[in-house]
A and B are shown apart, each in its own frame.
Chain A
Amino acid sequence: MALLTFDTRHKPRQAYISMAALLLLLLIFPFVASQFGNSWVRIIDIALLYIMLALGLNIVVGFAGLLDLGYIAFFAVGAYLVGLFSSPQFAALLESVIYYSPAIGEALVTVFGPEIQQNGIHLSVWAIVPLAAVFAGLCGALLGAPTLKLRGDYLAIVTLGFGEIIRIFMNNLNDPINFTNGPQGINMIDPIRVFGVSLAGEPGSNATVMIGGVAMPSVNAYYFLFLFLVIATIFITSRLQHSRLGRAWVAIREDEIAAKAMGINTRNVKLLAFAMGASFGGVAGAMFGAFQGFVSPESFSLTESIAVLAMVVLGGIGHIPGVVLGGVLLAALPEVLRHVVDPAQQALFGRVIIEAEVLRQLLYGLALVLIMLVRPSGLWPSPNKEERPNAALAREEEEASTA
């Protein structure tokens, strides 16, 4: 990793060149990959959303040191929000309200207008994203509030419990009032429309999107949107990290009692960590719902929470580039493997011995165990943790950094 660096404070020129080179690669990628079909870009689209999740969880686990095992709940919140407000689902909801309590139902129809009864509510992306961020953020603070006084292990289990509770609610909130449509989930969710252009392509165009005269597959269009969101997330979380708030988070992580003694209101700061982390999860969830066109409770289980945690842990807890690496490895790799390993096994052994799904689970489990035992700070840990107590070496480093 010596050539590739993002350390803008100590090695600005190298950092900016690295970033520019990487950006160029990222921008070209979809056009190259499209030559081989849509599946590669689709894989990366989903991977980008998971990277966003990992970066959000990094705030809670990495910066503040709070082990949240129910993080996927915020992904679910965002996804179901877009399911409710960008699809015909609201019509179904109204129907169940009218059935259950005609008076309230009629009142709602008067307020929202009769069209809602037919088609549901269809908000645009510009409304959905802030709505998802704020609502998920509130949920984050709410779910975090009971955990503030808990020790590490208990915090983990309680947040896990919350994640499960949310999943159970999503699975069952279809009776008597149909919020989530139960285990079937919500489909026919609108695709994202940016400046009048639908990212799913116009109907009949075989999922081709026209942007300023250039035609591209829908997955490519989403790629650029998600790439933009991930870059924005990196930007925001990086700024948060190197700020008064970021220091407060690390202080709490390192020694909560000392942090309190230094005047940090640990309750509020922890709630902020939960809220900020959750809001990224919510936005990612909203994008997920719109991208897939449907949401169902299966996508939001404990397994998913652990998968996101694995990305943060594998890459480097607290270190943003590391977390991105972890996200790339664990989100994209299994899908890549599925395309490579199955045919390879067929060719070599005549049949598939280890399915890609099994391989995925093995990877996650091994990642968590091996990293904690062998390299707990992750594959790409924060550079200044490499500091040696050796006085000479340290002096050398100080000279270099102040040069």
Chain B
Amino acid sequence: METFIQQLLNGLVLGSMYALVALGYTMVYGVLNLINFAHGDVLMIGAMIGLSILQLLGAHVPDLNGGVQLAIAILGAIPVTMAVNILIERIAYRRLRNAPRLAPLITAIGISILLQTFAMMIWGRSPIPFPQLLSSEPIMIGGAMISQTQVLLLVLAAVAMVALALLVEKTKMGRAMRAVAENPRVAGLMGVDTNRVIVATFAIGAALAAVAGVMWGANYASITFTMGVLPGLKAFCAAVLGGIGNIYGAMIGGLVLGIIEALGAGYIGDLTGGFLGSHYQDIFAFVVLILVLTLRPSGIMGERVADRA
């Protein structure tokens, strides 16, 4: 039972990060009907910038409270990831909005490679240790351990998701986003500046990815220039699981996928009689994706895709 709770907690932590990144994918898909293939690398950039900020802080004000340092790192990473994502929209997506569907996807793949290459040039090829700023003394919950970093991650993720929900439901920009996500042409006719909404969508997604990136680094204590690829893809699977284009779907999908992966990794040995080990963990996300697309393509909460007829 203890293992189960532990795996559940692990799953929640992992799932929170997936949820944050999945939101970025789902919002962009909602307004543009496109997968931002480079989004995972935006997470990586967030982590890298956060790392550099922490290294700077560590050199000049090492006694500053760990939580505050992390907060500064996140706040510093956000503008950079926003700028990167907005640039991606400008370069890859805006000019190709009317091109055949494969074109923006291929361009995004190219941008993903470029982002990784720049990161490789700036921060080097080897994994970099991420400063551990919070106490490593674990907190016990029902026989399972959770670190302070992980608790912070859960709190931040929850706050971010609530903030996003409020933004989307209660603010003018949120209404505009929902309108564009449903029918961009009509939204434009009603006076909504669709370009501005799309830019805002990319920016918000990037901010969430920055949070996820910095906390990923804090949680796993090490980052590298390829760290964004697999989590990015899995987050996309989570977005589809929850219902593409549906913000609440992305949140649910992220958490569910995290839990599936953690429980799966924990129990797969038992389930397959020792034939498959936990190294097969990465497969779960793709298996889930294939199952969802085959059996229930609209996802758990139903997809919300623009009417582009």
Asked whether any CB of A lies within 8 Å of a CB of B in the complex, the reply is yes
The residue that A362 contacts in the complex, of B114, B290, B294, with Cβ under 8 A, is B114
A157: chain B residues within 8 A (beta carbon): 35, 233, 236-237, 289
Instruction: Say whether A186 faces chain B, with CB atoms less than 8 Å apart.
Output: no
In contact, B91 and A152 (Cβ under 8 angstroms): no
The residue that A364 contacts in the complex, of B35, B96, B113, B120, with Cβ under 8 A, is B113
Instruction: Say whether B220 faces chain A, with CB atoms less than 8 Å apart.
Output: no
Separation in Å of the A254 CB from the closest CB of chain B? 10
Q: Write the chain A residue with the least CB distance to B285.
A: A161
Given A153-B101, A361-B120, also A161-B233 (CB < 8 A): yes
| CA of A198 to CA of B107, assembled, Å | 44
| CA of A156 to CA of B283, assembled, Å | 16
In contact, B113 and A176 (Cβ under 8 angstroms): no
Most chain A beta-carbon contacts within 10 A, residue among B99, B236, B286: B286
In contact, A365 and B236 (Cβ under 8 angstroms): no
Instruction: Say whether A248 faces chain B, with CB atoms less than 8 Å apart.
Output: no
Q: Which of A305-330 contact B (CB under 8 A)?
A: 306, 309-310, 313
Q: Which of B101-144 contact A (CB under 8 A)?
A: 101-107, 109-114, 116-117, 120-121
Instruction: Say whether B293 faces chain A, with CB atoms less than 8 Å apart.
Output: yes
Instruction: Say whether A238 faces chain B, with CB atoms less than 8 Å apart.
Output: no
In contact, B102 and A306 (Cβ under 8 angstroms): no
B interface, how many residues as a size bin? 35 or more
A44: chain B residues within 8 A (beta carbon): none
Separation in Å of the B114 CB from the closest CB of chain A? 4
The residue that B102 contacts in the complex, of A152, A161, A373, with Cβ under 8 A, is A152
Instruction: Say whether A105 faces chain B, with CB atoms less than 8 Å apart.
Output: no
Given A362-B117, A368-B110, A369-B110, also A156-B289 (CB < 8 A): no
| CA of A176 to CA of B237, assembled, Å | 30
In contact, A369 and B233 (Cβ under 8 angstroms): no
Separation in Å of the A148 CB from the closest CB of chain B? 10
A168: chain B residues within 8 A (beta carbon): 279-280, 282-283
Separation in Å of the A319 CB from the closest CB of chain B? 16
A373: chain B residues within 8 A (beta carbon): 91, 95-96, 107
Q: Write the chain B residue with the least CB distance to A67.
A: B102
In contact, A313 and B106 (Cβ under 8 angstroms): yes
In contact, B114 and A372 (Cβ under 8 angstroms): no
In contact, A146 and B294 (Cβ under 8 angstroms): yes
In contact, B294 and A365 (Cβ under 8 angstroms): no
Instruction: Say whether A31 faces chain B, with CB atoms less than 8 Å apart.
Output: no
Q: Write the chain B residue with the least CB distance to A310.
A: B110
A interface, how many residues as a size bin? 35 or more
The main secondary structure of chain A at its interface with chain B is helix
| CA of A309 to CA of B289, assembled, Å | 23
In contact, A154 and B109 (Cβ under 8 angstroms): no
In contact, A158 and B116 (Cβ under 8 angstroms): no
The residue that A160 contacts in the complex, of B107, B233, B275, with Cβ under 8 A, is B233
A361: chain B residues within 8 A (beta carbon): 113, 116-117, 120
Instruction: Say whether A175 faces chain B, with CB atoms less than 8 Å apart.
Output: yes
The residue that A365 contacts in the complex, of B96, B114, B230, with Cβ under 8 A, is B114
B92: chain A residues within 8 A (beta carbon): 369
Q: Write the chain B residue with the least CB distance to A177.
A: B275
In contact, A152 and B289 (Cβ under 8 angstroms): no
Separation in Å of the B144 CB from the closest CB of chain A? 27
Given A146-B294, A152-B101, also A369-B283 (CB < 8 A): no
Separation in Å of the A207 CB from the closest CB of chain B? 32
Separation in Å of the B218 CB from the closest CB of chain A? 26
| CA of A150 to CA of B91, assembled, Å | 27
Instruction: Say whether A165 faces chain B, with CB atoms less than 8 Å apart.
Output: yes
Q: Write the chain A residue with the least CB distance to B117.
A: A361
Instruction: Say whether A162 faces chain B, with CB atoms less than 8 Å apart.
Output: yes
B191: chain A residues within 8 A (beta carbon): none
Instruction: Say whether B73 faces chain A, with CB atoms less than 8 Å apart.
Output: no
| CA of A176 to CA of B269, assembled, Å | 12
In contact, B113 and A368 (Cβ under 8 angstroms): yes
Instruction: Say whether B214 faces chain A, with CB atoms less than 8 Å apart.
Output: no
Q: Write the chain A residue with the least CB distance to B120.
A: A358
| CA of A150 to CA of B112, assembled, Å | 23
Separation in Å of the B76 CB from the closest CB of chain A? 26
The residue that B91 contacts in the complex, of A354, A362, A367, A369, with Cβ under 8 A, is A369
| CA of A158 to CA of B237, assembled, Å | 9
| CA of A160 to CA of B112, assembled, Å | 15
In contact, B121 and A366 (Cβ under 8 angstroms): no
Instruction: Say whether A376 faces chain B, with CB atoms less than 8 Å apart.
Output: yes
Given A171-B279, A362-B114, A365-B113, also A161-B105 (CB < 8 A): no
| CA of A150 to CA of B297, assembled, Å | 10
In contact, A368 and B107 (Cβ under 8 angstroms): yes
Separation in Å of the B35 CB from the closest CB of chain A? 5
Q: Write the chain A residue with the least CB distance to B96.
A: A372
Closest 5 CB pairs of A and B: A368-B110, A161-B286, A365-B113, A365-B114, A369-B110
Show the binding face of B for A, using Cβ within 8 Å: 34-35, 91-92, 95-96, 99, 101-107, 109-114, 116-117, 120-121, 229-230, 233, 236-237, 240, 274-277, 279-280, 282-283, 285-287, 289-290, 293-294
A-B contact list, 27 entries, CB within 8 Å: A67-B102, A67-B106, A146-B290, A151-B101, A152-B101, A152-B105, A158-B290, A158-B293, A160-B233, A161-B286, A162-B286, A165-B283, A165-B286, A169-B280, A172-B280, A176-B274, A176-B275, A354-B121, A361-B116, A361-B117, A362-B114, A362-B117, A365-B111, A365-B113, A365-B114, A372-B110, A373-B96
Show the binding face of A for B, using Cβ within 8 Å: 65, 67, 69, 146, 150-154, 156-158, 160-162, 164-165, 168-169, 171-172, 175-176, 302, 306, 309-310, 313, 354, 358, 361-362, 364-370, 372-373, 376
